[in-house]
Structure formats: C-alpha cells, structure tokens
Amino acid sequence: MKKEENIPNFKVPESYFETFEERLFSKMAEESFPKNAGFKIPEQYFEKLDSRILKAVAASEKPKKIIPLFPRKYFGYAAAIAASLVIGFTLFNTKRNTSQLDSLQLAAIDTYIEEGNLNMDLYDLTSYIEDEDVPDIDLDAKYFSDSSLKEYLLENIDTETLINEQ
C-alpha cells in the first residue's frame, strides 16, 4: 500500500476522511427515500396563477376604505362627553402617576402585538427604516433584561442552529 508521502501534490479538504463515513451513510440512507413528495395540484393551477397573484397584489395596494365607528352627527355629543370626562379626571385625580401610565401603555402595546393585531413582519418593518437610521436606534440594555433575552433565545433558536453556527 502506497504511503501518503508518495503523492505530495494532492490535498484533501480539512476533516475529509474524518467525516467520510458520515457522508457515505447519509448518502446511502437517502437512496431509500422516496424521490418525490407525492403532492398534486389542481388542474390548470399554474396557468391561472399569474392573474390571481396580480389581482391579489393590486388589491393589497389599494388604500383601505375607512368606515367611521360613529356617524358624524354624534361627534358633538361624543366631544362633550369626552371633554367632561377629561375635566373630571383632572379635577379628581391630580396625583396622576406618569410612570404607571407609561407602563400601562407599553403593556397594552405588547398585548396588541402579541395577539397578532399588528400585521407586520420583518420585511414590513425594515421597509420603514433607512440605513442611516440604524445607528440611531436606541438599544439601551434596560429594554432587555438578561433573563428575558435568555428566554427569547431558548424559545426561538433551536440547538442545531447554535451548534451549526459555531
């Protein structure tokens, strides 16, 4: 059997032989898997798809019609009630706690988003942010405690991703 030194000009990628069995057995196992998934599509689906997609895109671009909650004639009454409530609230509740108000608003916003009412994802959000805005984003540590960050990572990142990224 020839020794490796006899072919000094050839090299193999790092860990090639160490991982050879793994790749070989994986390839052999794959051979026994079905070649296709077994899915079917309705007749003429792809032929009709273009016009459906274009319609869906056009519909999503149309400004949505806003239906008022209250007809205009009730505005006067509503304004009067709101004004008296504000005055009453100011008169009887002068020791208003602003920090409590802030946290209440944040909690309400959190719930609103968590319930899926904010129909936006990463692409929608990033479309509102320009490159030059990024350094201005205030990523103050006070927004994420170590424990909530840890909880987020444990819930959202699977172990394999972490191992693979090492």
Partner 1 sequence: MVEEQELVTALQTDGAKEAAFRELVAQYKERLYWQIRNMVLDHDDADDVLQNTFIKIFRNIKSFKGESKLHTWMYRIAANESITFLNKKAKRNNVSIDNVKSNAVRKLETDVYFEGDQLQLQFQKAIATLPERQRLIFTMKYFEDHTFEELSEILETSVGGLKSSYHIAVKKITEFIKTDETL
Residues that bind partner 1 (CB under 8 A): 22-23, 26, 29-30, 32-34, 36-42, 46, 49-50, 52-54, 56-57, 60-61, 116, 121-124, 126-127, 158, 160-161, 163-165
DSSP 62: S
Q: Which two tokens stand for residue 48?
A: 């009709």
1/41 with CB nearer partner 1 = 41
41/67 with CB nearer partner 1 = 41
Nearest distance, CB of residue 62 and partner 1, angstroms: 12
Cα distance between residue 160 and residue 166, in whole Å: 10
DSSP 144: S
SS3 label, residue 132: helix
Rounded to 5°, angle at Cα 29 from 28 and 34: 115
85/120 with CB nearer partner 1 = 120
**Cβ(118)–Cβ(112) below 8 Å:** yes
Nearest distance, CB of residue 11 and partner 1, angstroms: 18
**Cβ(89)–Cβ(81) below 8 Å:** no
Nearest distance, CB of residue 142 and partner 1, angstroms: 28
4/14 with CB nearer partner 1 = 14
